[in-house]
Structure 1
Amino acid sequence: MLARPRIVGVGTATSPASYSQEEVLEAFGITDPRICSVFLNSAIERRNLDLPAPGSDGIRPVEPQGDLLDKHKRLALDMGAEALRNCLRRAGADLADLRHLCCVTSTGFLTPGISALLIRELGIDRHCSRSDIVGMGCNAGLNALNVVAGWSAANPGDLAVVLCVEACSAAYAMDSTMRTAVVNSLFGDGAGAIALRTDPAEAPLAPAGPPPGEPSNGAPAGPGILKFASCIIPDAVDAMRYDWDRDLGRFSFYLDPLIPYVVGAHAELVVDRLLSGTGLRRSDIAHWLVHSGGKKVIDAVVVNLGLTRHDVRHTTGVLRDHGNVSSGSFLFSYERLLDEGVAAAGDYGVLMTMGPGSTIETALIRW
């Protein structure tokens, strides 16, 4: 049996400008009390966004789809490069050590993809293998981690990175509808990167047994990835979608108001499947890193899994400070957990993301 991959680094980045919810309302010229209420009751204080500059009349212009695609490319490369460098720094590695780069995005489409563009822009070894996952939405970071964990296990000793880059400013529509208000109140720009390496000399990790060893500095080793579990909800396939809006002549994101309850109702099912056969119960999980999908989504997961507010403190903190940064949200939470310094050798953690499909993705990790 191959040794299991370990998470050896994480890094994040955002676009430069940060806005309060009140500032976003002002920027969009929104005064409708119903829409203002959506913004101001979102549990979000600030988000990073790249908004068009106001014209001479003080009004921010509507950006055509071509300009939004250009914005996606610019932000994706800037944020992606920063998050990748931060991740490698934390892993004690540099660009020359990278052997596989998997890039994830749902806020724009590029051919060649982000991986090829970053390899060129950053001077990464031209023989670095790569993959791009496009259009899977907020759950896609764990889909990518699952695939790249397999690559890592098959290439022990080599460094792989999953890079989630979401330029949500390039996926905004400006109109006065409640559909648009829900989306515009929620998403922010962000990128998160996570590095994996499988030690060829390390004994296989098991879901139970003695804790793994610690590095010489006394800090716990990066967690090993033990298992993944997924759940797609076909009846809710249209509940979250990014499709062409013929009235606006551009792509537009849609969130069904019932999606928090749909996700919450299936959270227990997929987590029980994740823990099945491990001998673990939910109470054995020390660290829960849940996608910052929105206040109602987080509340639904907490209720259905019997979690505490402390369990999701990083999830709610990321939502408060950055909004929903889509596929990279759970990496912002993971970074905060590491900075907190409370993870101990032997601790178990669950990563959970949700997105279009509708889909819930989970992973079980152990320090």
Structure 2
Amino acid sequence: MPFIASVSKIDLPHRIAQQEAKEQARAMFAKNFPQVDRLIQAFDNTEIVTRNFCEPLTYYTSPNTFEERNGEYLEKALIWSVKAIEDCIKSANIDKLDITDILFVSTTGLATPSMDALIINHMRLNPHINRMPIFGLGCGGGVSGMAKANALAKANPDAVVLLVAVELCSLTLLTNDYSKSNFIGSSLFSDGIAACIVKGDNHPDNKKVSYQASSSKLYYDSLEVMGWDFRDTGFKVLFSKDIPTFINQHVREDIDNFLTGQGLKLSDIKNFIFHPGGKKVLDAYADALGVEGDFLQKTRSVMNNYGNMSSVTVLYVLEKFMNEGFEDGYGLMMAMGPGFSSEMVLLKMRNK
């Protein structure tokens, strides 16, 4: 089976305290958003302490166009992707020319040629690399990207697959959008970049974290639950307050069905590598699954220290497991995203 050789994440230079972001949001919204005083406590309810931003906080108060913000996305995404990839290559002990495939996951900026082409050109990677740019999966993109990276490595046991996820959510903030969704989004979302190397089974490395199976599910008639509304001014965030309810209704059955297909049950999962969509989402997971103990501790820690970085966040959680330790046994990666959809990857995790 394919295995994960390394994971790297980026700590961006602008780490913003949640209370500082809260006061700026109040100033930005107060004049045109009558509900600001009633909803401002949402910043405290997130349990986020600090957030990762690609720009200083003052950037987000200055008038700018969608073209300018997307230009920043292109510049910053390339700079930090290259740094994450270089760290990942070093950790995996490979040469950059060994990479056979590259997947680039993002939902917060636009690029044609796609960002993977910019990365290959800048880093002078093998020009014959198989490219797979993936756009539009939102928070589910990290787990979906991991599943696709492993599918490529399973098809070619000699493969060295590079997965890169970049989400610069802060650059999508519309300063003249005084909707509730935009206000709540300003309390949650942040920026992150992660890279991962997945190798095929022919490589002789110590295969501590190996791929077992994956599952994708699209829920009919739920298109409005999460996504973007594309405007002249940019990306307008859309998400429903019913997401935790949706999780409570579906996630336990979906996980049970997936694990049953692999001859497993929920009690076999020792490491829960979940996307932290927010406090209410994690509480919904805890209620739905009923697992004893703080099984989402590492997930909560990433949310507390980084905020919701969309697709990238679950890879920060994975990096935390790989660098801080995990229990021998199975690991389950899971995230939900636009569609409405769920993505799962089953891992076998061994310390020796």
TM-score by length of 1: 0.87
Q: Match of 2:130?
A: 129
Q: Match of 1:254?
A: 238
- Which range moved further: 227-236 or 295-304? 227-236
Distance change in 2, residues 1:187/1:149 (3 Å): same
Kindly report which structure 2 residues correspond to 1:14-53, keeping only aligned pairs within 5 A, or say none. Answer: 14-28=11-25, 29-30=27-28, 32-51=36-55
Q: Match of 2:326?
A: 342
User: Letter of the aligned partner of 1:35 in structure 2?
Assistant: L
1:314 aligns with 2:311: no
CA contact (8 A) 1:79 1:190 kept: no
How far off its partner does 1:115 sit?
A: 0.4
Q: Match of 2:195?
A: 193
User: 1:83-111, CA deviations, whole angstroms, 9 ceiling, x for partnerless residues?
Assistant: 21222222122322211110000001100
Kindly report which structure 2 residues correspond to 1:294-309, keeping only aligned pairs within 5 A, or say none. Answer: 294-308=278-292
CA contact (8 A) 1:165 1:191 kept: yes
The CA distance in 2 between the partners of 1:201 and 1:94, in whole Å, is: 14
How far off its partner does 1:34 sit?
A: 2.2
How far off its partner does 1:229 sit?
A: 1.5
How far off its partner does 1:119 sit?
A: 0.6
User: 1:16-62, CA deviations, whole angstroms, 9 ceiling, x for partnerless residues?
Assistant: 2011112113334255322321112111111112346749xxx9223
Q: Match of 2:168?
A: 167
SS class of match (2:235): strand
Distance change in 2, residues 1:52/1:199 (3 Å): closer
Q: Match of 1:207?
A: none
The CA distance in 2 between the partners of 1:38 and 1:315, in whole Å, is: 20
The CA distance in 1 between the partners of 2:199 and 2:15, in whole Å, is: 34
User: Letter of the aligned partner of 1:197 in structure 2?
Assistant: K
Identity %: 28
The CA distance in 2 between the partners of 1:75 and 1:309, in whole Å, is: 39
Q: Match of 1:209?
A: none
The CA distance in 2 between the partners of 1:273 and 1:44, in whole Å, is: 33
Q: Match of 2:229?
A: 243
Count of residues in correspondence between the two structures: 341
CA contact (8 A) 1:159 1:196 kept: yes
CA contact (8 A) 2:158 2:203 kept: no
Q: Match of 1:218?
A: none
CA contact (8 A) 1:264 1:297 kept: no
The CA distance in 1 between the partners of 2:278 and 2:333, in whole Å, is: 16
TM-score by length of 2: 0.91
The CA distance in 2 between the partners of 1:52 and 1:310, in whole Å, is: 34
Distance change in 2, residues 1:68/1:109 (3 Å): same
SS class of match (2:181): helix
How far off its partner does 1:279 sit?
A: 2.6
CA contact (8 A) 1:274 1:364 kept: no
User: 1:323-350, CA deviations, whole angstroms, 9 ceiling, x for partnerless residues?
Assistant: 0111111111111111222343xx1110
Point out where structure 1 has 5 or more consecutive residues left out of the alignment: 203-213, 216-220
Distance change in 2, residues 1:73/1:14 (3 Å): farther
Distance change in 2, residues 1:274/1:150 (3 Å): same
Distance change in 2, residues 1:251/1:304 (3 Å): same
Q: Match of 1:10?
A: 7
SS class of match (2:103): strand
Distance change in 2, residues 1:179/1:340 (3 Å): same
CA contact (8 A) 2:152 2:159 kept: no
The CA distance in 2 between the partners of 1:118 and 1:280, in whole Å, is: 40
Kindly report which structure 2 residues correspond to 1:139-158, keeping only aligned pairs within 5 A, or say none. Answer: 139-158=140-159
CA contact (8 A) 1:44 1:320 kept: yes
CA contact (8 A) 2:6 2:88 kept: yes
